[in-house]
């Protein structure tokens, strides 16, 4: 009766009385294969976009019998490396040059797991699907530095940093800033794009909000340090619906250049069909406008008791409760 071979490691299973004179060599080959399966290492250069690990019955030279497989070479496209469709486990060191391509590892005819560039993976196959052990791990605890070079997904759980409330800072880097997000644990502060937050939330750079911002229970102060910094709010069509000129201490509505007045309102559209200012007083017992200023007997102050006026110069149109009226104005006497 001829030898048969095991399905997982391709060990030669000798029949009774077979291989007289070579039985020991075959047995030693089997032991060598089992040793490779436990602790063996092999480097495999990827040669095509669909590459297969060698698996030969009875020989000690096949690649897939090793526990540790290092993949090298340069990918020319999205690539898959496959082993036999049997139950097995491997440690895979992905040292291939991947560029923007993907590299999958799978049992023949089965489902692959993707390997991360420059990373080492512990994987196992159930004969049809290759699984990444750490990718599907439950609770994971690292005493020391934990480096993740691939994506980290939190699906249905909560991520808590510093659950014990220790004085341990937290930092996230971006491509160009080492402190894109910085949590100063000792001072209970957060810095965005800076590592030295001076208040609870300290942002260096511009802030853009596409939704609503709600200040509940606190005040909002712009330019608390009193710097020469302008403030601008846009509408759909106006770039300067509200403009505060920080250096001139003036406010503009509809204009980027407040003039000699403290507040300048500019309805600049000649076809806007809209009033410059509407005053809607709901309290019938109160006035529309209140003037407070210095009073003089002549016309040298903003308020005067002088009843003599100059010549009638013109009129200003106003609308009161839907009806237009004209208010006269006079030249200075």
Q: Are 254 and 238 in contact (CB under 8 A)?
A: yes
Contacts (Cβ under 8 Å, ≥6 apart) of 219: none
- 255 within domain boundaries: no
**131 and 13 in one domain?**
yes
Among 188, 203, 218, where does a domain finish? 203
pLDDT tens profile 168-185: 999 999 999 999 999 999
**182 and 122 in one domain?**
no
Among 117, 135, 153, where does a domain finish? 135
- 263 within domain boundaries: no
Mean pLDDT value across residues 35-44: 89
Q: Are 132 and 122 in contact (CB under 8 A)?
A: yes
Mean pLDDT value across residues 238-243: 94
**d(Cα 18, Cα 3) in Å, to the nearest integer?**
8
Whether the predicted pLDDT of 161 surpasses 90? no
Contacts (Cβ under 8 Å, ≥6 apart) of 327: 315, 316, 317, 318
pLDDT computed for residue 329 by the predictor: 92
- 221 within domain boundaries: no
**d(Cα 122, Cα 93) in Å, to the nearest integer?**
9
**88 and 37 in one domain?**
yes
- 260 within domain boundaries: no
Average pLDDT of the chain to the nearest whole number: 89
Q: Which domain holds residue 300?
A: 278-333
pTM of the full predicted structure? 0.47
pLDDT computed for residue 1 by the predictor: 62
- 273 within domain boundaries: no
- 222 within domain boundaries: no
**187 and 73 in one domain?**
no
- 45 within domain boundaries: yes
* Block residue for tokens 């712009």: 222
**18 and 95 in one domain?**
yes
Among 110, 135, 160, where does a domain finish? 135
Residue 256: C-alpha distances to residues 107, 171, 209, 251, 266 (Å):
67, 39, 22, 9, 10
**174 and 124 in one domain?**
no
- 43 within domain boundaries: yes
pLDDT tens profile 43-87: 999 989 999 998 887 777 789 888 999 999 999 999 999 999 999
**d(Cα 302, Cα 296) in Å, to the nearest integer?**
8
Count up the domains in the chain and report the number: 3
Q: Are 85 and 109 in contact (CB under 8 A)?
A: yes
């Amino acid at each position: 009766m001829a030898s048969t071979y095991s399905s997982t490691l391709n060990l030669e299973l000798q029949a009774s009385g077979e291989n007289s004179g070579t039985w020991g060599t075959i047995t030693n080959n089997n032991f060598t294969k089992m040793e490779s399966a436990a602790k063996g290492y092999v480097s495999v250069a990827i040669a095509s976009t669909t590459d297969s690990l060698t698996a030969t019955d009875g020989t000690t030279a096949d690649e897939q019998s090793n526990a540790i497989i290092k993949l090298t070479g340069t990918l020319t496209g999205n690539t898959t490396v496959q082993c036999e469709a049997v139950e097995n486990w491997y440690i895979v060191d992905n040292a291939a040059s991947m560029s923007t391509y993907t590299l999958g590892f799978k049992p023949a005819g089965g489902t692959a797991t993707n390997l991360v560039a420059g990373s080492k993976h512990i994987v196992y196959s159930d004969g049809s699907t290759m699984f990444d052990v750490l990718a599907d791990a439950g609770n994971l605890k690292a005493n020391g530095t934990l480096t993740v070079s691939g994506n980290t997904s939190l699906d249905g759980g909560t991520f808590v940093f510093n659950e014990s409330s220790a004085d341990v800072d937290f930092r996230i880097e971006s491509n160009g800033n080492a402190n894109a997000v910085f949590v100063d644990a000792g001072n209970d502060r957060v810095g965005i794009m800076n590592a030295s937050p001076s208040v609870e939330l300290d942002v260096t750079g511009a802030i853009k909000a596409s939704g609503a911002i709600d200040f509940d229970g606190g005040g909002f102060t712009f330019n608390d340090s009193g710097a020469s910094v302008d403030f601008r709010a846009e509408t759909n069509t106006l770039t300067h619906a509200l403009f505060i000129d920080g250096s001139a201490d003036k406010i503009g509505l509809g204009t980027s250049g407040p003039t000699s007045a403290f507040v300048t309102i500019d309805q600049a559209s000649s076809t806007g069909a809209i009033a410059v200012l509407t005053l809607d007083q709901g309290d019938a017992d109160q006035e529309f406008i209140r003037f407070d200023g210095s009073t003089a007997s002549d016309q040298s102050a903003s308020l005067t008791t002088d009843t003599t006026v100059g010549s009638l110069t013109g009129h200003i149109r106003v609308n009161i409760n839907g009806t237009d009226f004209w208010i006269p104005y006079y030249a200075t006497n």
